[in-house]
Amino acid sequence: MFRRILVPTDGTERSTVALEAALRLATLGQGTIVGVHASPPPYVMAPELGLAAPIHDAWRQEREQLGQDAVAYVRRRAGEAGVPCETLLVTGLPPSEAIIRSAREQLCDLIVMASRGRGGLAGRLIGSETWKVLSHSAIPVLVLR
């Protein structure tokens, strides 16, 4: 059974599906959930416009609040399910890298995540965070659609 299950969350309903599956697995194996929200690095803004600092600050505050809300939901659901839970907010890394690094550092033995289902040209051009995790993770990854 899996003892430490990492669940990336972006606060969407799609990530809720992965959380519910992870909670069921953790309950069966008396495991712990590690919820992680990864906030990517900010986009580069042109300082000559004079708007970069205020826009960046507003963006950062919004991302922080989104992350806090997302992991608070994971903690609440884990508490309701009676599953031990830890949460992390990771900033400044691409999401796939933050997920893989967090799983390694937290000694997780499974990653449970949702797939956005972006395929075709869009998926090939911009890449899929799920695909990157699947390709580079040293531990098993359960992907839910």
Other beta carbons within 10 angstroms of residue 39's beta carbon come to 21
Residues in CB range of 83: below 8 A, 6 or more apart: 23, 26, 27, 31, 32, 33
Q: Tell me, what amino acid is at 68?
A: Q
- What is the rounded distance in angstroms from the CA atom of residue 126 to the CA atom of residue 93? 16
pLDDT digits (tens, 9 = 90+) for 46-71: 555 555 677 777 878 888 999 999 99
The pTM is what?
0.86
- List the one residue out of 35, 34, 52 whose CA is nearest residue 43: 52
Local structure of 138: helix, strand or coil: coil
The mean pLDDT value for 85-99 works out to: 94
pLDDT tens digits for range 3-12: 999 999 998 8
